Structure 1
Amino acid sequence: MNNFEKGKELEDKSADRLDAVGVKNNKNSGDGIDISGEAASNEFAIQCKNWANKIGHNVVDELAGVLSKRENRDKIGIVVAPSGYQRKPDWSKA
């Protein structure tokens, strides 16, 4: 399976899980957003990254940048990354 197929698989699984719990969503909504929708009166945007390694903080920063430029700004940004996240150097330990 190539990287595109892996990414598509994660997007499909994520959308299917939202559907399973009754959350209305749209796949491939554009602007680098893989899934968008609304739950409990909150708009959300999801970016899926099915990478072999942990994603860097730049992925989260990029999603925040995309959301800030949208005309109809989503309230919540979510990054789905099964491989995990690298800690940003200035984040304090939880």
Structure 2
Amino acid sequence: MPRWECDIEGDDRQFDRVEELIIHQSVEHDRIECKVCGAIVPDGYFAIKHAFDEHSRAEYVRAYDASAAQVRRREQIKESVEAVANMSEVIDRLEGGEA
């Protein structure tokens, strides 16, 4: 079974479950400011989700000076996570403080 790697600022921690990765990113890493709208969001998956759910690809490309390959990579990450993640578990754990 493939492991999920954090990869935020060189963090190479790996997790057996994607839910553990998302919680790690949300709790252990600083929040970041969206360069499109200024919203403060957890880095990692939630930042990618925010960017592509709330903004167009063109807005993302302009704000982050991103290449088409960088956009595709982040879209693939989002799709991969969402295909297997139990987001109810993630939200419950983050809201309940059991991270």
TM-score over 0.5 (shorter chain): no
Q: TM-score, normalised by structure 2?
A: 0.31
Which structure has greater strand proportion?
A: 1
Which structure has greater helix proportion?
A: 2
